[in-house]
Amino acid sequence: MRISVIGAGYVGLTTAACFAQIGHDVFCSDSDLDKLHKLQNGVMPIFEPHLENIVAHVRESGRLAFGSTEQTIDCGEVIFICVGTPPLGNGDADLSAMEGVARTIAKRADGYRLIVEKSTVPVHTGAQLKRHLAVHATRKLNFDVASNPEFLKEGTSVEDFLHPHRIVVGVDSSRAANLLQKIYQPIIDQTFACPIHSGCPRRQQARFLVTDTNSAEIIKHASNSFLAMKISYINMVADLCEATGADVGKVAEGIGLDPRIGPDFLRPGIGFGGFCFPKDLQAFVRIAEKFGCDFALLEEVGRINQKRVSSFVEKIRKELWVLREKRICVWGLAFKPDTDDIRFSPALAIIRQLLAEGASVRAYDPQAMEKSRQELPELVCCSDVYEAAQGADAIVLLTEWEEFRNVDWKRVSGLVERALMIDGRNALSREDVVEHGFQYVGIGGVSGAPEATGSLASV
Ligand code: UGA
């Protein structure tokens, strides 16, 4: 099928590339001309595992092209809108990009079009889109509007797109439902040639769930808010473990074994970040408020998350006593591993506080240094974990990149001023670190001193 994708961010680009990969003809646009030129010249504007190879392959085979919004609208019977919906000052989602695209579609398109909102939007946006398209349509446009929320995680977005647990479509006509099912059929049946796995371990049939538009829109916000709630919950449990001498790793394992709870998203740490959870949580609370529902539960989830940053800085202070003029080595800047995304990264919030208190910070991240440097010019960025550790009073791990689990501890211990490892993600093996003469301070009672190897008393 011929598909248009408007917006080439994480969601749009993954959507466009993966639809082309499963056999559709896709045209994709972005209003950021610099990004568009990069894509037209084969340069990736973002780091996302597997995406570069897939984009190169489908461009070469002629199934994916990039161009202007107008060209894109002309191309497909089905138009996926994947533009940004950033937060406004009051927590509402800013729908101006969505509105602008809808107006251009209304003025430009004719015949039948299925217009699909893939961006995360508040409930009733589909209905609003429908009204707006009808008001502004200047040609003979016959259209349906559908909601098709995405459940892609940055860092695994290609895998999540190609091997999803569910595909949710919110529609109000069977024509729209049939078109979307036809587009997704190779993914529902898992019949496409997988570009990332040879044995393809994730080939389970995907559930295709058809709902009304309002329900699909709520499914997206409710899913992200639930996951954020799980993280804040385990973070509070971590604090309690730390205060009582329990081990949050064991506690999370114990509660996660209940299939009604499940083991995922129970990793405690410095809190959730990224461009989705913080803004979606806020937006969902605002939506509830507008419709007269008091979702104070989610407001608390946000408050707990915000406090993670200052309480982690306190943890560092507790070990170093005074932060002024201390040299702190930071491993990890991205809001999570396998991405270069630093938006709402708790790592950067922590670094800002450390710098404000007069500490110097030497950081290393495998992908996110360029973006971090632009945001925090005073940050010293190093070429690897070892350069960052040089002369450090403490090493602080803020993003759990796999690379940090495989460092040469002997080498690191020879570089630092003080052998202190503060692990904000409980990502390292406490035993490994302690064995190399480090004091290990983790989250939720997971700590240990070198002399305590064996008993691993909590600090
Ligand atoms: C999230 C959702 O997981 C996706 O399903 C959704 O499609 C996406 O938002 C979106 O709305 O576009 P993402 O923001 O890429 O995906 O990242 P996650 O892997 O969900 O992590 C979010 C944050 O939570 C990260 O800062 C991560 O470090 C933190 N986290 C995650 C924890 O602190 N503990 C956990 O156990 C899990």
* pLDDT confidence of residue 459: 32
Closest-lying ligand 1 atom to the alpha carbon of residue 152: 7
Residues with CB under 6 A from ligand 1: 120, 150-154, 224, 227, 231, 265-267, 269, 272-274, 276-277, 280, 335-336
* pLDDT confidence of residue 296: 96
Binned at pLDDT 50, 70 and 90, residue 424 comes out as very high
Closest-lying ligand 1 atom to the alpha carbon of residue 339: 15
Which listed residue (28, 276, 381, 382) is catalytic? 276
Report, in angstroms and rounded to the nearest whole number, the Rg of the chain calculated over CA atoms.
24
Binned at pLDDT 50, 70 and 90, residue 455 comes out as very low
The Å distance, Cα 403 to ligand 1 centre, comes to 20
Mean residue pLDDT across the chain? 94
Binned at pLDDT 50, 70 and 90, residue 458 comes out as very low
pLDDT above 50 for 452? no
The protein residue whose alpha carbon is closest to atom 35 in ligand 1 is: 265
Q: For helices 248-256 and 213-244, what crossing angle results, to 10°? A: 140
CB atoms within 10 A of CB 7: 27
**Closest to 282 measured CA to CA, from 270, 299, 304:** 299
Distance (Å, whole) CA 366 – CA 237: 31
Helix ranges restricted to H, 4-124? 10-21, 33-40, 51-60, 69-75, 96-108
Calculate mean pLDDT across residues 83-110: 93
| SS3 (DSSP) at 58 | helix
Sign, Cα dihedral of 317, 323, 327, 328: positive
221 touches 284 (CB < 8 A): yes
Give yes or no: 18 in active site: no
**Closest to 412 measured CA to CA, from 434, 435, 436:** 436
Helix ranges restricted to H, 245-295? 248-256, 277-290
382-415 pLDDT, tens digit each: 999 999 999 999 999 999 999 999 999 999 999 9
- Let me know the angle formed at the C-alpha of 323 by 322 and 324, rounded to the nearest 5 degrees: 100
pLDDT above 80 for 450? no
Binned at pLDDT 50, 70 and 90, residue 451 comes out as low
pLDDT above 80 for 200? no
DSSP state of 4: E
pTM comes to 0.93
Closest-lying ligand 1 atom to the alpha carbon of residue 275: 14
23 touches 67 (CB < 8 A): no
249 touches 444 (CB < 8 A): yes
Return the structure tokens found at 214.
């309002």
Return the structure tokens found at 147.
């909601």
The protein residue whose alpha carbon is closest to atom 27 in ligand 1 is: 272
241-287 pLDDT, tens digit each: 999 999 999 999 999 999 999 999 999 999 999 999 999 999 999 99
Which of 68-82, 190-204, 218-232, 378-392 is predicted least confidently?
Answer: 190-204
Percentage of residues in the chain having pLDDT higher than 90: 91
Q: Give the long-range contacts of residues 129-134, CB within 8 A, separation 24 or more.
A: 129/98, 129/102, 132/99, 132/102, 132/103, 132/106, 133/102, 133/105, 133/106
Calculate mean pLDDT across residues 176-180: 98
Q: Which residue has the tokens 């009672």?
A: 445
- Let me know the angle formed at the C-alpha of 112 by 147 and 169, rounded to the nearest 5 degrees: 15
* pLDDT confidence of residue 139: 83
Percentage of residues in the chain having pLDDT higher than 70: 97
CB-based contacts of 135, cutoff 8 Å, min separation 6: 106
pLDDT above 90 for 307? yes
The Å distance, Cα 385 to ligand 1 centre, comes to 25
Sign, Cα dihedral of 180, 203, 367, 447: positive
Which of 231-235, 289-293, 450-454 is predicted least confidently?
Answer: 450-454
